[in-house]
Amino acid sequence: MRSTMQDAPLSIARLVRHGTVVHGASEVSSWTGDGFRTATYAEVGKRAARLANALRALGIDGDQRVATYQWNNQEHLEAYFAVPAMGAVLHTLNIRLFPEQVVFIANHAEDKVVIVDASLVEPLSKVLPEFETVEHVLVTGEDPDLSPLADKGAEIHSYESLLADASDDFDWVEVDENDAAAMCYTSGTTGNPKGVVYSHRSVVLHSMAACMGDAMGLSPSSKVLVIVPQFHAMAWGLPYAAMLVGAELVMPDRFLQPEPMLKMIQEAKPNFAGAVPTIWQGLLGLLEGDDEADISCLEEVVVGGSACPESLMRAFEEKFRVRILHAWGMTETSPLGSVARPPIAAHGEDAWRYRVTQGRFMAGVEARLIAEDGSVQPWDDEAVGELECRGPWITASYHLDDDDEKFHDGWLRTGDVGRISPDGFLTLTDRSKDVIKSGGEWISSVELENAIMGHPAVAEAAVIGIPDEKWGERPLASVVVKDGEDVSADDLRGFLADKVAKWQLPDSWAFIEEVPKTSVGKFDKKVIRQRFADEELEVVQAS
């Protein structure tokens, strides 16, 4: 028996129609360096329609790719709405990748157009000549200087001039809900990045799921500071989720340092935010030296992308009454997979047991753990294995790539290793390639890092496995000491003594200026391993 329900495709066209009308009065504010410029969703919708008409006039048709090379701001949001809702495919280029990688990605995706912020014209001009399929570049901002992009193989336009000449009426296109809406390449540290292509259906379902109470709980009463870049995993789905429910958006543009961030928070008073741990670590450093600073408007902030140290979560909650929500996800999972909201019965310290985990799987995400021998592991919070997941917003393959190593019987192999509790809370202990195997036993680099970062003198810590004749591998901890603090390897080893098993305690320590980071702010352990191999790290032994 078929249902009697209407067959209404889940499309970004519908999402945009809904958001710009029903929530037309909600606002997006973009930081300019000394204040905000603000527009309503209705206005953004009109400008998105102008952009769609302008792109059509330039010949963009069907599922052609329109790339963005932009910070988080109103114009980037306009592209988020216009491009998929006109039936084309939005491709967010990661501006922090190495030039060769950006070139590879733009060519692999066959981008036809690039929309670029005026402040990013310089770096784009370096790679544009090697973009093989790009025909047009649109530069945002009032009277932008187009000259650096001249004679680089594409036609260059002022975004505002194109919009000014276009109609603000566009009949948004309903495509098949399984057709491509947007694409994003992984920020993997080995090999070429891989393209993940989101469908209209996956974006809409992910947006709905993101707003549910088990996830980010966005509503028309939310005002969201979107620090996670729009070029990284669709800014964790925040822009589309916000448009769906009329949550307001606060966009930092290129001002991602702690000082402007604090100003933005104090001026716009967002009650929700999303960013990787390093951003919050930076803000904490600023707040700790400023007794006047008040960020209590932020009720909840979602933190993911890498493990959030418990010490950071506690500092924000205890000193500033800001609740950090730990979440896990990947570019391949749209990206939200799990969020750490404790069960109702857990209070006080008991609740912290749940909050420090990577969280509980959202409705729609199925997960399992696979041991080294291929067996499925139980959810007993002890058995460890590689996390595999599946669901309507989880990728089943990569764009134009037949490498099926990342897939297993219809499940995505995440490359993350951990355990799951009987009530569905995930605890990640490592990336599979970062696991340290000492005397046949696994040592979790993430648990060691979190424990070391709990020391008040430590700003950051990254642990890698180094070869050891007797044990196979032993942990080496690279530590960044906070400004003005002093701590020795022996002090740190002593500090860890009652926190981790004795055989897991690192003997080898290196004190470094900064932990190297990837293009999206994760610890880049590959670089640390290389420095160790090149004998560039000054390693001391704890006694």
Task: Tell me if the bond preceding 129 is cis, omega within 30° of 0.
Answer: no
Distance CA 287, CA 295 (A): 9
194, 431, 474, 525: which one contacts ligand AMP (CB under 6 A)?
431
Any contact of residue 187 with ligand AMP (CB under 6 A)? yes
Q: How far is the CB of 327 from ligand AMP (least distance, A)?
A: 6
In the shown chain, the binding pattern of residues 248 to 287 toward ligand AMP, with x for contact by CB under 6 A and - for none, equals ----------------------------------------
| Among 53-61, 149-157, 310-318, 410-418, the segment contacting ligand AMP (CB under 6 A) | 410-418
Catalytic residue IDs: 186, 332, 437, 442
Q: Which of 429, 440, 514 is nearest to 479 (CA)?
A: 514
Restricting to residues 331-370, name those near ligand AMP by CB under 6 A. 331, 335, 358
For residue 535, give Cα distances in angstroms to 125, 437, 478, 526, 539: 37, 22, 14, 14, 9
| Among 133-141, 247-255, 310-318, 330-338, the segment contacting ligand AMP (CB under 6 A) | 330-338
Closest to ligand AMP by CB, 233 vs 420, is 233
Question: Token pair for residue 247?
Answer: 């949550």
Q: Which of 173, 198, 204, 206 is nearest to 10 (CA)?
A: 204
195, 270, 304, 391: which one contacts ligand AMP (CB under 6 A)?
304
Q: DSSP for 409-420?
A: TTEEEEEEEEEE
Any contact of residue 428 with ligand AMP (CB under 6 A)? yes
Closest to ligand AMP by CB, 331 vs 508, is 331
First to last CA, the chain: 73
Question: Token pair for residue 303?
Answer: 């933190």
Name the residue type at position 466.
I
User: In what side-by-side order are the strands of the sheet with 508-511?
Assistant: 458-468, 472-481, 508-511, 539-541
Q: How far is the CB of 338 from ligand AMP (least distance, A)?
A: 8
Q: How far is the CB of 188 from ligand AMP (least distance, A)?
A: 8
Any contact of residue 328 with ligand AMP (CB under 6 A)? yes
Any contact of residue 414 with ligand AMP (CB under 6 A)? yes
In the complex, residue closest to ligand AMP by CB: 331
Q: Which residues contact 411 (CB under 8 A, 6 or more apart)?
A: 368, 388, 389, 390
Any contact of residue 235 with ligand AMP (CB under 6 A)? no
Q: Which residues contact 218 (CB under 8 A, 6 or more apart)?
A: 210, 211, 224, 238, 241, 242, 245, 247, 272
In the shown chain, the binding pattern of residues 501 to 540 toward ligand AMP, with x for contact by CB under 6 A and - for none, equals -------------------x--------------------
Binding stretches for ligand AMP (CB under 6 A): 186-187, 233, 304-307, 326-331, 335, 358, 414-416, 428, 431, 520
